Structure 1
């Protein structure tokens, strides 16, 4: 997918070095000077560092190079791994007030996502968007892509377990015991005598088998047994003799039998 070229407004808004940023750049020379400036402006815009030269738009490189008075071609010799770039990253984090993500941060982010995001949003890509936004709000440098995937996956699992626990708490002890018994005895249902179980028990056996074989999610099955049934609607036609002729209006309200309707 082709990238949209940056216009002058984008360059001025996101890639202009501010006065305090010029102070950080001033002590560096050549490729180091330009590379540091590009890392700094990229981080202020996206809340993370670029993974390499390929993530930096050519228009932005030219724009920043003119500000630091270094040829844009110098960026090709900037080293993206090693002690220099790690030192640059530490400088930029300290200047912007960010920190690297720790194990404690990952656990905290997982809990926040499970409680406020994954309980309603089940698409991993959308949960990931919220994770990155939360990192920026908390001034945390986003984890690596693989670690982000693990945090999102853990948050989705925790949210599912929390939802299942809330639904399970609404089931009576007797119902819980009955479901457990059905799950444990589901393997024996193939040898059962046809018609021996009631219609309700047969339905519960099917759902219990689905839980055991993991062909349906637990929370969906628990909702099936805890959602109040929809009250039946009152039939408008009280006998076969009152079926409407094809010429009558296709309504299902008792107004159809009002005196006004009959006079019409």
Structure 2
């Protein structure tokens, strides 16, 4: 995650919009700030931050201003445990994602073993083929209309 953001990019990428407000509405303090940051980070990176240091300081300050929580409260947000797991599930649901399952693994393996992985075919070098399979089977469209994250 880049750490430097222009004002225009910050507003375009880190502003809570539409249903985001419903999702943060029932949260307070550190959980409100942390959840808002997880939500926007996930849309930008298509993953969750591993630790708070990955979050750009300017984005933390901007999010804190939006949700009316002191940015210092981020230090109270728990990066392991039930709360963040629940928040991650809510964020995945917001974007139409779900955790990769054993069934998904079996389907991908079958695809790689079949036409997608045949010699000389698109998957022969294991380059673009798995990404094509992901795009077709796993990656939902980005809600901002900018394409997949």
Report the counterpart of residue 35 of structure 2 in structure 1: 36
Count of paired positions:
133
C-alpha RMSD of matched pairs (Å)? 2.7
Report the counterpart of residue 56 of structure 1 in structure 2: 55
Q: CA deviation at 1:4?
A: 5.4
CA contact (8 A) 2:3 2:56 kept: no
The separation in 2 between residues aligned to 1:26 and 1:16, in whole angstroms, is: 15
Higher-Rg structure is: 1
Give the alignment's TM-score, normalised by structure 2: 0.75
CA deviation digits over 1:111-145, x for unaligned, max 9?
545536541456xxx888x38x92696247xxxxx
Kindly indicate whether structure 1 or structure 2 has the higher relative contact order, using CA contacts under 8 Å at least 6 residues apart.
2
Q: CA deviation at 1:80?
A: 0.8
- Structure 1, unmatched stretches of 5+, are 141-264
**How do residues 57-72 of structure 1 correspond to structure 2 at under 5 angstroms?**
57-72=56-71
Give the alignment's TM-score, normalised by structure 1: 0.44
Question: What SS is found at the alignment partner of 1:119?
Answer: coil
The separation in 2 between residues aligned to 1:112 and 1:96, in whole angstroms, is: 25
The separation in 1 between residues aligned to 2:59 and 2:49, in whole angstroms, is: 13
- Structure 2, unmatched stretches of 5+, are 141-149
Q: CA deviation at 1:13?
A: 1.7
CA deviation digits over 1:189-223, x for unaligned, max 9?
xxxxxxxxxxxxxxxxxxxxxxxxxxxxxxxxxxx
